[in-house]
Structure 1
Amino acid sequence: MMRDSVEVAGRSRTYTVVGQEDGRPSRDLVLIFHGSKQTGQKHREFTGRAFDALADSGAAVVVYLDGYKKNWNDARRESRFPARKENVDDVGFVRAVIRKLTLKHGIDAGRVFAVGYSNGGQMVMRLMHDAPSLLAGAAVVAATMPAPENFLLPHTPPAPVPMPVLLIHGTKDPIVNYEGGYMRWWMRALFKVGGRSLSAPRTAHYYAVRNGITAEPVSTPLPARPGSAGGTSVERTEYRQHGRPPVVLCTVHGGGHTIPGPAKAPAVLGRTNQDVATADLVAELFEIRNRHTPSV
């Protein structure tokens, strides 16, 4: 693990790298974007360091980026935190990190994946619209697409760069409603955000249309893991069509504003599902481990 920084638009931007400089060449790069009021390192602990396993396996370099004053300059019209008010160049930050890791760690710049939670998920959606050529895939947890009037970037299909998309959302999320709409007034004040958002299923449909998928989605309940805590279950809804990158929505029934996996979030955020691990879902959909598994 290594702390590093880059200069972007006159600001020193920091991040944490997991993965050796002298590792396998042409590794994938997984960029992790934390939620509001977090840092990259705090989010690393919040997830139980589950994403580190992608680097430990030698398949990828994992980077936990630090937002400006613990937020990302997302594309929601009514965001009011410093990163947005000061129009911080977070897209430039991502470009600089990719450029530096390509040189120092030998990552494959065509195999960059973004994973974002909450405000970090909103940042990932900004990247998908503002700089899609940077990404080979995107995962969004506990965040949904801003409604058209609340989104600052063009959002008409088809996508200029279609990519596989993973969405994960709890039906009992107390902060970002699974059904979309507006946050409660006190949450809007606390997190300095506003505006309407789409539901999680509408978000999945939006990205399916954007990827040119016209086939109907197929939903499957996932089995419970032996020994996992009760109260939640996962339903996987897949939009797939030959020749098109898939869109997958994992609905966590009974789940909160949480990241499925080994580390339980504080109870105030709701229940954490442990039947699935978000890092494994990311690796599976984006074929991170399989691409580097030698044939027998």
Structure 2
Amino acid sequence: MRRSITIDGRTRTMTVVGDPHSAHPRDLVLVLHGSKQTGDVHRRFTGHAFDAMADSGAAVVVYLDGHQKNWNDARKDSFFPARTDDVDDVGLVRRVVEDLQQSFGIDPNRVFVVGYSNGGQMVLRLINEVPELIAGAAVIAATMPAPENFLLPVGEAGSKPLPVLLIHGTKDPIVSYRGGSMNRFLRRVFRAGGPMWSAERTAEHLARRNGIVGDASVAPLVRAGRPARTWVEQTEYSQEGAPPVRLLTIHGGGHTVPGPKKAPFVLGATEQRVSAAEAVADFFGISRQDRERTA
């Protein structure tokens, strides 16, 4: 179902997946696409995998459209129109939550955001700027901007803690797992850049933000084996009374979303034995049975 709302005189569009009518409040999953995509393009890019949460009746899934195919992610060195025109994407998320609470009966306390690439950068902005608006966040193929490349204060311990799931490939050719800056060619193509933290440093930072002081546990989730080109390792920061932070490292993985559909070869290898959508549903407890038990 296509829907639109107006923010600051701009018409913003989205695709909503889920029945408007439900006997119980449902979770809301907002999916933010990557640079140069739209919500519908990203839906096809991921093989409609996130739709399963709506098909089960557990959630309403919304694929939002960025402004001219990008998000205002608050990186200082982003130069696409969403950032240079100061588009209110935070306001968009707030309005969508309010609108769907009225029209679809979603639970405003169970709002989760999932972002890929530029959409993942936007999710990191939401974590830092409006953590009270969301119940959890998943960031795929994106890392935290270094403080000098971020137009907001970097959230520290004391902000509302949030469970965060991070998924990143070690051979990502666009957003390096190890951090640093894009090369000149990629900066020109994507009109973005600036120094970024590594995926591991991003995970540790978010764990400390949640008040987790101990070391992470590390274990293989899916082992290497032919003919797979990738394998998956899970790094988990957890502590009693604090929301966890989980990093799924896709060894050999590219700038891709693990799941049923392979990304174009130029983006690198796609891990298909693990589904990002299923990992999100598991991490946040998005299932019809869980919601009915707590309704």
CA RMSD of aligned residues (A): 1.5
1:25-174 alignment, distance < 5 Å: 25-174=24-173
What letter corresponds to residue 249 of structure 1 in structure 2? L
- 2:277 matched residue in structure 1: 279
- 2:206 matched residue in structure 1: 207
- How far 1:131 sits from its partner (Å)? 1.1
1:205-284 alignment, distance < 5 Å: 205-224=204-223, 230-284=228-282
Q: Deviations over 1:40-88 (max 9, x none)?
A: 0000000000000000000000000000000000011110001011000
Contact 2:222 2:233 in 1 (8 A): no
What letter corresponds to residue 247 of structure 1 in structure 2? V
- How far 1:130 sits from its partner (Å)? 1.2
What letter corresponds to residue 273 of structure 1 in structure 2? E
Q: Deviations over 1:109-156 (max 9, x none)?
A: 010000000000000011111111110000000000000111111114
Contact 2:141 2:167 in 1 (8 A): yes
Contact 2:128 2:155 in 1 (8 A): no
- How far 1:224 sits from its partner (Å)? 4.8
Listed as ranges, the gaps of 5+ residues in structure 1 are: none
Contact 1:50 1:261 in 2 (8 A): yes
- How far 1:225 sits from its partner (Å)? 9.7
- How far 1:292 sits from its partner (Å)? 2.4
- How far 1:244 sits from its partner (Å)? 0.2
Listed as ranges, the gaps of 5+ residues in structure 2 are: none
What letter corresponds to residue 57 of structure 2 in structure 1? G
The 1-side partners of 2:191 and 2:171 are apart by 22
The 1-side partners of 2:174 and 2:238 are apart by 30
Q: Secondary structure at the match of 2:215?
A: coil
Q: Secondary structure at the match of 1:257?
A: coil
Aligned residues: 293
Contact 1:240 1:247 in 2 (8 A): yes
What letter corresponds to residue 269 of structure 1 in structure 2? L
Contact 2:224 2:230 in 1 (8 A): no
- 1:4 matched residue in structure 2: 3
The 2-side partners of 1:60 and 1:87 are apart by 31
Contact 2:224 2:231 in 1 (8 A): no
- After superposing on structure 2, the runs of 4+ consecutive aligned residues of structure 1 that deviate more than 6 Å are none
Contact 1:229 1:274 in 2 (8 A): no
TM-score, length-normalised on structure 2? 0.97
